[in-house]
Amino acid sequence: MHELSIAHNIVTIASNAAAEAGVDRISAVHLRIGALAGVVADALRFSFAIAAEGTPLAGADLIIEEVPVVVFCPDCNAEVTLTNPRLFRCPRCDRPCGQIVHGRELELVALETP
């Protein structure tokens, strides 16, 4: 399962960060996930709970901020948010655009300690 390997990566990165900071427990992990990252948030939450067992992240909350798809439209010379992330057309001028600015993120934003 794709989400389980992502969850293991998050746990590894966060555990290392906790060790470096001299923290022995993390209560919450904040992530940013783009609509195009191919991650199912519920599956990731479930996998995270399993991956976190026996680590400083055990029982921590996974707080996911979903990032919409933003493309750059050369005609409008602007970054526009796609209303339909499957349809790569500028919502202002209807020109096809594939220059993705946001939407592929999978970032660890912050860690909280109790």
Comparing CB distances to Zn ion, the nearer of 93 and 109 is 93
Q: Smaller CB distance to Zn ion: residue 25 or 95?
A: 95
What residues from 26 to 85 belong to the interface with Zn ion (CB under 5 A)?
73, 75-76
Nearer to Zn ion, 8 or 89 (CB): 89
Residue 12: CB partners within 8 Å, gap ≥ 6?
none
Per-residue b or e along 69-100, where b marks 16 or more CB atoms closer than 10 Å to that residue's CB: bbbebeeeeeebebeebeeebbeeeeeebeeb
Q: Which helix (H) or strand (E) holds 9?
A: helix 2-21
Sign of CA dihedral 77, 99, 88, 108: negative
Question: Judged by CB under 5 A, which stretch of 8-16, 26-34, 55-63, 88-96 contacts Zn ion?
Answer: 88-96
Site string for Zn ion, 91-110 (x = CB under 5 A): -xx-----------------
The binding site for Zn ion (CB under 5 A) comprises 73, 75-76, 90, 92-93
